[in-house]
Amino acid sequence: MGTDNRKGVLYAAFTASMWGFMAIVLKVITYDLSPVTVVWFRFLFAFLMLGTWTIIFRRKDFRIFLRPPPLLLLAALFLALNYTGFIAGIKYVSPSSSQIFIQIAPVSFALSGIIIFREHVNWKHIVGFILVLAGIGLFYSEQLHDLVSGGENFTLGIMLVLGGGLAWASFATSQKVLLQKIAPNQLNLFIYGVCALALSPFVKFSQLSGMTALNWYILSYLGLNTVLAYGSLALAIKYTEATRVSVIITLNPIITFVTMAILTRMHVSWIEPESFSLLSLLGALFVLGGAIVVISAGWKR
């Protein structure tokens, strides 16, 4: 593995670790704040942090705001839809469930690598897609059976998460193209700023007044997570193949599952406990295994 590929793998692994804990934190914060308010704060925090760094070290990067390419505006829209769809969906489903269904994102990104970037395709992709679809169907039906009283909300949550996943795949595909001409710092700076500005009319600012110190800490963590995870993702995509990045970030639900299992065993009061049947766990394994198969199958060009 060359130096650039090694860098890409390390950056992708860091992104996966950041996203593994994020679903849990998002579930907690949605008890008190609206999804759009949380998303807006994440983008604003990320823009202010990255903007401060840019003013000090790379002031010329602000030129991207003067004549942004249309694809960059589209990428910002896709990422805003991803953030909003995922956190809106997580209000109705558990962190682990949301992490299973969001796997439509890297799988769709891998598909874009095959179609757009002409990465290799073979029978493994077909097997992988079948496993993913079978796993999602099995996991969904089993979870819905266990959540009959909240079936409609569970379905709504899943649809929102899936929509957010498809939006992320569109964002990542656009980003892969844009990074050929635009520096990662410029790309992220523009996207954070535009998304924060676009969402501001829909923010419930009244929820921020009188908020507890703990919630401010949580929001700050989410903002920092945005800066570090997406900065690392941009570098990962820059240094290595879309398929290689996707297969690594697909593993982040494992962190969520293990953490939620520990929290459930500890009987904490600040998040709802999770329990999965054997069929649900089998469905989750199908989704993760299928995603890894379909993504890794595209490594060869």
Break the chain into its structural domains and give their ranges: 3-296
pLDDT of residue 2: 67
Mark the ranges of the chain whose per-residue pLDDT is less than 50. 299-301
pLDDT of residue 301: 45
Q: 257-273: b or e for each residue (b if 16 or more CB lie within 10 Å)?
A: bebbeebeeeeeeebee
Distance (Å, whole) CA 93 – CA 251: 20
> For residue range 14-63, what is the model confidence (pLDDT) as tens digits?
998 888 888 899 988 988 899 999 999 999 998 999 999 999 999 999 99
pLDDT of residue 238: 79
Percent of the chain with pLDDT over 70: 90
pLDDT of residue 32: 87
96 Cβ contact partners less than 8 Å away, ≥ 6 residues apart:
23, 253, 256, 257, 260, 274, 276, 284
Q: Are 215 and 34 in contact (CB under 8 A)?
A: no
Nearest to 39, CA basis, from 22, 57, 63: 22
pLDDT of residue 296: 67
pLDDT of residue 277: 77
211 Cβ contact partners less than 8 Å away, ≥ 6 residues apart:
32, 33
pLDDT of residue 136: 79
Distance (Å, whole) CA 184 – CA 179: 6
- Taking each continuous run of H as one helix and of E as one strand, the counts in the chain are 12, 0
CB atoms within 10 A of CB 147: 16
> For residue range 67-103, what is the model confidence (pLDDT) as tens digits?
899 999 999 999 999 999 999 999 888 888 888 888 8
Distance (Å, whole) CA 236 – CA 169: 15
pLDDT of residue 60: 92
Torsion on CA atoms 16, 41, 231, 263, rounded to nearest 10 = -20
pLDDT of residue 119: 63
- Tokens read off for 50: 């990255």
